[in-house]
Amino acid sequence: MTPPSIPDLDQPRDNGDLVFTAPWESRVFGLVTAYLEATGQPWEAFRQRLIVAIAAAPAGAGYYESFTVAFEALLAADGVVSPEA
């Protein structure tokens, strides 16, 4: 059995870096960071939900998909959106 390969090993990069592969990924990252700052919450408040979302994600799900799920969970916990949204 071949172990799963690690994506993008050959992606061109230098000391700068391609950190987002699509604009929406940068939006959700910026959104979470700005929201935590605006509401005075530490990154840890989000991180615990990110761990849960990554663990629950279907195989092949992208990192920023899980990131979005985790943010929705945080917003639901904060009462900003309803849990099923």
Partner 1 sequence: MTAHHLHEPSATEQRVAALESLLVERGLVTTDAIDAVVATYEQDVGPMNGAVVVARAWTDPAYKQRLLTDATRAIGELGFGGAEGENMVVLENTDAVHNVVVCTLCSCYPWPVLGLPPRWYKSAAYRARAVREPRAVLAEFGTTVPDGMEVRVWDSSAELRYLVLPQRPAGTDGLDEPALAALVTRDHMIGVRR
Residue with tokens 């992606």, as numbered in its chain: 11
User: Distance from first CA to last CA of the chain, Å, rounded?
Assistant: 40
Q: Is the dihedral of CA 33, 39, 43, 46 positive or negative?
A: negative
Site residues (CB under 8 A) for partner 1, limited to 4-63: 4-9, 11, 13-22, 24, 26-31, 33-35, 37-39, 43-44, 47, 50-51, 54-55, 59-60, 62-63
Residues interacting with partner 1, by CB under 8 A? 3-9, 11, 13-22, 24, 26-31, 33-35, 37-39, 43-44, 47, 50-51, 54-55, 59-60, 62-65, 68, 71-72, 75, 80-81
